[in-house]
Amino acid sequence: MTESRVAVVTDSTAYLPAELVRAHGITVVPLQVTVDDDTGDDGADVTAHDVAEALRDRRRVTTSRPAPDRFAVAYAAAARSGAHAIVSSHVSARMSSTLDSARLAAASAPVPVEVVDSRSIGMGLGFGVLAAAEAAADGAPAAECAGIAAERSRSTDAFFYVDTLEYLRRGGRMGAAASRVGDVLMVKPLLQLRDGQIALFEKVRTSAKALARLEEIAVSAASGGPGTSVDVAVQHLGAAERAEHLAARLRRQLPRLRHAYTGEVGGVVGAHVGPGMIAVTVSRHRPGK
């Protein structure tokens, strides 16, 4: 593998495993999380546990984008390290204004910056970032790496279970009418990332049935044409045991599985989905891709 001359930057909502960030030399710019009156970096100053506990205690939790200066610092550091160009891929613009900060900083960066709207979040964003980093390490130019990041993120399927839609409603990530579906009917909602935003996918009566259905959906999403392989990520907030159980079951059922990742989301996503969330992201690889 040759040394990359294209640097790859993302934000903390990808929740990439730390070992992959290190191995691929990816720069992660954190979003901000505020609990009551205390603000800190997502994943560093404010952890998933901090947010889960605050939500259970009904304390106020809000999130915000990184300031453009945070991206400017990251881009300047990449240039000083020898990068001739940068690919900066981020959480869906329909869910966060993080992309605006990246674009503002890119306009005055010391090297060209390709800013990518992943139209996703979590490992839906993360798989695209990894694909871009792999292409960069193989010597691909920045425009090609950016195209790979966008295509990979947008071709993933992401589904998730939440105990309640209340947190999404509070944060404005789902309309009040849709959020009341779970409350009025006492159902457990399954959600989907669709067109860069969160949408209701199915309504299931119990949490056990919802998780079983999530497994079925993931297996179906992983199917493809002859030779198609998949990467899968199971992410959670305060539900490690259930996430590991689901990941183990998926590993047994997906014969063409390349990589499987399990981990906890951080405070930004956690603030909007609440404790108990389980997400499955499926990324397919067609032959020759």
Does residue 24 lie in a domain region? yes
What percent of the chain has a predicted confidence (pLDDT) above 70? Answer: 90
Q: Tell me if 58 is assigned to some domain.
A: no
Residues 140 and 162 in one domain: no
* CATH number for the domain harbouring residue 100: 3.40.50.10170
Pairwise pLDDT comparison (16 vs 223), residue with the higher score: 16
Domain that holds residue 209: 157-285
10 Å CB burial of residue 29 (0-12, 13-18, 19+) is buried
**From residue 53, how far is each of 43, 100, 119, 190 by CA, in Å?**
15, 31, 29, 23
Residues 96 and 236 occupy one common structural domain: no
- Structure confidence at residue 149 (pLDDT): 97
Which CATH number covers residue 185?
3.30.1180.10
Is 37 domain-assigned?
Answer: no
Instruction: For residue 246, tell me if it sits in a domain.
Output: yes
Whether residue 164 sits in one domain with residue 128 = no
pLDDT of residue 184: 45
94 with 166, same domain: the answer is no
Question: What is the per-residue pLDDT for 232?
Answer: 96
Q: Residue 226: which pLDDT band, with cuts at 50, 70 and 90?
A: low
Answer whether residue 40 is part of any domain. Answer: no
pLDDT higher than 70, residue 135: yes
174 pLDDT band (50/70/90 cuts)? very low
Domain end (from 154, 187, 218): 154
pLDDT digits (tens, 9 = 90+) for 92-101: 999 999 999 9
pLDDT of residue 154: 87
User: Are residues 109 and 186 both part of a single domain?
Assistant: no
pLDDT tens per residue, range 23-68: 999 999 999 999 999 999 999 999 989 998 998 898 999 999 999 9
What is the mean predicted confidence (pLDDT) over 83-93? Answer: 97
129 belongs to a structural domain:
yes
Q: Per-residue pLDDT for 152 more than 50?
A: yes
pLDDT at 206: 87
Q: What is the pLDDT, as a whole number, of residue 288?
A: 52
Same domain, 188 and 127: no
**Residue 244 located in a structural domain:** yes
End position of a domain, from candidates 154, 172, 188: 154
Q: pTM higher than 0.85 for the full model?
A: yes
219 Cβ contact partners less than 8 Å away, ≥ 6 residues apart: 250, 253, 254
Count how many domains the chain has. Answer: 2
Q: Mark whether 165 and 119 lie in a shared domain.
A: no
Average of pLDDT values for 4-12?
A: 93
Q: In sequence order, which ranges of the chain are alpha helices (DSSP H)?
A: 18-24, 48-56, 68-80, 98-106, 123-137, 142-154, 166-170, 176-185, 207-222, 240-253, 267-273
Domain-ending residue, one of 137, 154, 171: 154
- DSSP letter string, 167-209: HHHHTTSS-HHHHHHHHHHT-EEEEEEETTEEEEEEEESSHHH
* Residue 44, in any domain of the structure: no
- pLDDT of res. 240: 94
- Looking at the fold, whether 189 and 97 belong to one and the same domain comes out as no
Q: How does the average pLDDT of the chain come out, rounded? A: 89
Q: How many CA atoms lie within 13 A of 120 on its CB side?
A: 31
Asked whether residue 117 falls in the same domain as residue 200, the answer is no
Do 241 and 162 belong together in one domain? yes
148 and 90 in a common domain: yes
CA distances from 180 to 68, 177, 220 (A): 36, 5, 28
Whether residue 26 is found in the same domain as residue 149: yes
pLDDT at 2: 43
Q: Is the pLDDT of residue 182 over 60?
A: no
